[in-house]
Structure 1
Amino acid sequence: MNLRTTTLATLAAAAFSVLAGGNVQAKDTFSAPQREALGAVDALFAAMAKHDVDASRRLILPGASFVVVLPDGTVKIEPDTGYLDALGQHKEAFRERIWDAQVMVQDNLAQVWAPYDFHVDGKLSHCGVDSFSLVRNADGWRVAGVSYTVQKVGCAPSPLGSVK
């Protein structure tokens, strides 16, 4: 897998929507802090879908890392700056959907874990599991790191249905 493909996969981890995209689990089952943490993930996904580098930069802690586990088991690590640079260069339409999110919050630390599917220009690219680490500071919840798997074949159909 080349750097462009890896970067595209990195963009996938920060993609389209927990709250606005229709997470199949009822949003009212989450506490207020859990909903706030999910809102930060959602905001990052929305910024990615718009290729909005400035909004993304405000949502990511400087020095955050993006870690991808590729189908062959190779692990690639990219700094926040690599993610932001790539986001500004890509023009394809990105949409990632997550469902069945597990959200853990303790004081100013949160973890969001969820299966996802990722679409480029309306077509399924890959699926996997996203894991977001978030930290709450004076600016609110910010992404401290994203780790995810990439599965190119054998993706189960999403419970969210087809992409519209």
Structure 2
Amino acid sequence: MKRFTSGLVFALAILIGTASFAQTALPAEGNKVVPANTASDTVDVQHVIDAYHEAVLNHDGSRLASLFIPHGSMWLNVLSDEAYARAKAKSPDAQKIRVGSFTDFAKIVSTSKASFNPTHTHLQQNSDGTIASVYFDFIFLVDGIEQNRGSETWVLVRGSDGWRIAAITYSSNPHKS
């Protein structure tokens, strides 16, 4: 089971770390199909944070994806120096900064049979009512076992239809396998 979990985490890191996205113009806000619970999920920043956590716990990739601006969202995973050294030892082509996408993560959340639990501590929020930033420490548990830890920051924007995540950047200190 440990080997399966390690393989799952490695696959998760590869999928998230190698995905790329194109920048395109945002569609008119009124022309989107929005899941029924999105209005309550995006009423304020704390609701977005809570909905994100619930979506990951419940393997609800659609709900998770609805919390992001649809085009142009940024997803960056930055390996710690120690994690980068381990990755380089395994693969000389390893990247310290890996660009991913929320759509890849939402797909993993939807299709994985493993239990995910991202825990957040030391939460700090700043907002002027139009833009916001959230910073926290995290531990990402897979089947109850720590697989990664670090710090994470989100940038959120408030459109006419509520708050959405525009960017997630997180440091990555994967559990040594």
**TM norm structure 1:** 0.69
5+ residue gaps in structure 2? Answer: 1-6, 18-42, 85-94
Residues 17-36 of structure 1 mapped to structure 2, 5 A cutoff: 36=44
Matched, 1:127 2:149: yes
Task: Tell me the secondary structure at the aligned position of residue 60 of structure 1.
Answer: coil
Q: Tell me what 1:6 maps to.
A: 13
Residues 80-119 of structure 1 mapped to structure 2, 5 A cutoff: 80-119=102-141
| Distance 1:53-1:152 versus aligned 2 partners, 3 A rule | closer
Structure 1 residue 58, shift from structure 2 partner: 1.5
Greater helix content: 2
Structure 1 residue 115, shift from structure 2 partner: 0.8
Q: Tell me what 2:169 maps to.
A: 147
Structure 1 residue 79, shift from structure 2 partner: 2.3
Given that 1:9 and 1:150 are in contact with CA atoms closer than 8 Å, whether structure 2 keeps it comes out as no
Given that 1:37 and 1:141 are in contact with CA atoms closer than 8 Å, whether structure 2 keeps it comes out as yes
Match of 1:77 among 87, 99, 109: 99
| Distance 1:85-1:152 versus aligned 2 partners, 3 A rule | closer
Task: Write the deviation string for residues 107-153 of structure 1: whole angstroms up to 9, x where unpaired.
Answer: 31000001111111011112100111111112211111111011135
Q: Tell me what 2:52 maps to.
A: 44
Question: Number of residues paired by the alignment?
Answer: 130
Q: Percent identity?
A: 23
Shift >3 Å, 4+ stretches: 7-10
Task: Tell me the secondary structure at the aligned position of residue 130 of structure 1.
Answer: strand
5+ residue gaps in structure 1? Answer: 11-34, 155-164
Distance 2:101 2:124 in 1: 25
Q: Tell me what 2:70 maps to.
A: 62
Distance 1:8 1:121 in 2: 19
Task: Tell me the secondary structure at the aligned position of residue 122 of structure 2.
Answer: coil
Task: Tell me the secondary structure at the aligned position of residue 82 of structure 1.
Answer: helix
Task: Write the deviation string for residues 40-94 of structure 1: whole angstroms up to 9, x where unpaired.
Answer: 1121111111111221122111121211012217111112322222222222111
Structure possessing the higher radius of gyration over alpha carbons:
2
